């Protein structure tokens, strides 16, 4: 088993928190007083904040890149063990990222049991398995150049199905309970792909995968409007994902990757629709300005992130998540110019912030505004929650759970990356 190398120790976190604790208590109490005036008990909100869990993507711990280049930083993880170690560090500082979503084959473990033991020794487990039939691997028999699960050739489809089932097998040994499927299948030119035929073949392939999954596993169907196919994508939008999920089976659900929509699409409304239909599986959080930019969560459209959580909290309160087995929150980002661990720390904080702000919405007041068609006050009700500085709640929840008051600052102060620079030559 690989060693972990440098780890941030508990004493370091305690001293980081120690110098901040007096200010933090004051800020928390002041916020508690302000919230009480709005009829909100800060303790209940803090409990909600602490219960949130966000999965980290194994593939985002190293520098991503674009097709124009990649600029890796010092001390990046060289293998899946080092990626898990980085994810565990993020969990150590934030306390709400206890699981890692693994990508096969990028992070294929030699012995899954060894990896599971290693992860567990660092206090993390595994979330959804992510298959990859959008690239060809060395020694792969048949090419995915013209598709995988929807390919016209049954042999290619069988190979892609086999790969997904292999991901399930690895996931079983790791303690995962879900498989996420995202395909790059589609066409670059009008006429290239038979829209109906390819969609049918995709659904049939998903049915075969589903049939091979254990009975307590979930299948997440991820859609994306374009790229790598530039004209048409087989699994292109939430409606296609929704129908496919219903055709495949009750444990097939839709996965909403925020970057997989055209700019300005009303994603929060898609979330509401999928909740309504009982097929919301989960999220790949990230942010974007133009397309599937994979920027850090909350960096471009924090209000959108808040509105998404508002729909989720709203539905939970109304029992509207029945049929949606607690959406899986995962991050899917590509870090090109930042330290990936820093980007993930910042993203986790933004996701938790948006969730906590959503918990603050005065839902009775909002319902009244909606009933009376008071648009101005409806928006103000949402904005009152969205503009509340909930940082003291986030920090105090982290500190109570043994995490860092300021994860980003703690990470930098710890010298983690410099240590890894030496270890990961």
- Binding site residues, ligand PSV, CB under 6 A: 103, 130, 132, 182, 222, 224, 257, 284, 292, 332
Q: Which is nearer to Mn ion, 57 or 403 (CB)?
A: 57
Among Mn ion, ligand PSV, none, residue 342 binds (CB under 5-8 Å by kind): none
> Considering only CA atoms, which of 97, 119, 63, 126 is closest in space to residue 348?
97
Min dist CB 236 to Mn ion, Å, is 14
Min dist CB 297 to Mn ion, Å, is 12
Rounded-to-integer distance, Cα 278 and Cα 137, Å: 36
Min dist CB 81 to ligand PSV, Å, is 20
Tell me the HSE value of 330 on the side-chain side, using a 13 A CA sphere: 29
- The alpha carbon dihedral of 61, 67, 73, 78 has a sign of positive
**Contact present, 80 and 112 (Cβ < 8 Å):** no
How distant, in Å, are the alpha carbons of 118, 152, 179, 330 from that of 81? 8, 38, 21, 20
Q: Which is nearer to Mn ion, 83 or 284 (CB)?
A: 284
83, 284, 301, 417: which one contacts Mn ion (CB under 5 A)?
284
Q: Which is nearer to ligand PSV, 133 or 396 (CB)?
A: 133
Among Mn ion, ligand PSV, none, residue 201 binds (CB under 5-8 Å by kind): none
Lay out the site mask for Mn ion across 305-344 (x = CB under 5 A, - = otherwise).
---------------------------x------------
257, 296, 339, 350: which one contacts Mn ion (CB under 5 A)?
257
Min dist CB 308 to ligand PSV, Å, is 17
Residue 142 sits at φ, ψ, to 5 deg, of -115, 145
Reading phi first (left if > 0) and then psi (alpha if -120 to 50, else beta), residue 367 is in alpha
Rounded-to-integer distance, Cα 379 and Cα 389, Å: 18
Q: Which is nearer to ligand PSV, 105 or 320 (CB)?
A: 105
DSSP track, 94-121:
HS---EEEEETTTT--SSHHHHHHHHHH
Q: Which is nearer to ligand PSV, 132 or 347 (CB)?
A: 132
Q: What angle do CA 229, 206, 149 make, to 5 degrees?
A: 35
Looking at residues 51 to 90 of the shown chain, list those that interact with Mn ion (rule: CB under 5 A): none
Q: CB under 8 Å, gap of 24 or more: what pairs does 261-264 form?
A: 261/225, 262/225, 263/288, 263/289, 263/290, 263/291
Q: Which is nearer to ligand PSV, 235 or 410 (CB)?
A: 235
Q: Which is nearer to ligand PSV, 92 or 333 (CB)?
A: 333
Min dist CB 301 to ligand PSV, Å, is 18
Among ligand PSV, Mn ion, none, residue 292 binds (CB under 5-8 Å by kind): ligand PSV
Contact flag: residue 224 with Mn ion (CB under 5 A): no
> Considering only CA atoms, which of 157, 156, 155, 177 is closest in space to residue 168?
177
Min dist CB 330 to Mn ion, Å, is 8
Q: Interface residues with Mn ion (CB under 5 A)? A: 257, 284, 332
């Amino acid at each position: 088993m690989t060693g972990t190398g440098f780890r941030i120790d508990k004493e370091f976190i305690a001293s980081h928190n120690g110098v901040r604790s007096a200010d933090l208590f004051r800020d928390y109490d002041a916020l508690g007083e302000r919230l009480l005036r709005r009829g909100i008990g800060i303790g209940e909100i803090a409990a909600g904040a602490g219960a949130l869990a966000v999965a980290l993507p194994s593939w985002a711990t190293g520098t991503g890149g674009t097709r124009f280049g990649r600029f890796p930083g010092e001390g990046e993880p060289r293998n899946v063990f080092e990626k898990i170690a980085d994810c565990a560090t993020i969990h150590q500082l934030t306390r709400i990222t206890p699981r890692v979503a693994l990508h096969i084959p990028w992070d294929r473990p030699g012995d899954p049991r060894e990896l599971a033991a290693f992860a567990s020794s660092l206090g993390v487990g595994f979330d959804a398995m992510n298959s990859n039939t959008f690239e060809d691997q060395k020694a792969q028999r048949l090419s995915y150049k013209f598709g995988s699960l929807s390919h016209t050739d049954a042999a290619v489809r069988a190979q892609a199905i086999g790969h997904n089932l292999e991901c399930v097998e690895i996931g079983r040994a790791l303690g995962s309970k879900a498989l996420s499927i995202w395909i790059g299948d589609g066409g670059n030119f009008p006429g290239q792909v038979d829209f109906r035929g390819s969609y049918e073949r995709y659904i049939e392939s998903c049915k075969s995968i589903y049939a091979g999954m254990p009975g307590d596993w979930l299948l997440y169907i991820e859609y994306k409007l374009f790229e790598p196919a530039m004209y048409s994508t087989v699994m292109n939008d939430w409606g296609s994902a929704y129908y496919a999920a219903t055709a495949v089976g009750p444990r097939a659900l839709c996965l909403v990757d925020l970057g997989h929509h055209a700019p300005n699409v009303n994603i929060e409304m898609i979330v509401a629709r999928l909740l309504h239909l009982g097929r919301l599986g989960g999220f790949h959080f990230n942010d974007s300005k133009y397309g599937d930019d994979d920027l850090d969560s909350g960096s471009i459209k924090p209000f959108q992130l808040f509105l998404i959580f508002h729909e989720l909290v709203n539905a939970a309160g109304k029992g509207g998540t029945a049929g949606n087995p607690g959406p899986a929150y995962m991050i899917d980002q590509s870090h090109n110019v930042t330290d990936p661990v820093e980007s993930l720390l910042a993203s986790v904080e933004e996701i938790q912030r948006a969730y906590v702000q959503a918990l603050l919405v005065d839902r009775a007041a909002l319902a009244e505004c909606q009933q009376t068609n008071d648009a101005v006050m409806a928006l103000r009700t949402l904005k009152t929650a969205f503009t509340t500085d909930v940082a003291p709640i986030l920090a105090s929840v982290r500190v109570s759970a043994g995490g860092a008051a300021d994860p980003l600052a703690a990470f930098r102060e710890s010298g983690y990356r410099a240590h890894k620079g030496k270890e990961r030559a």
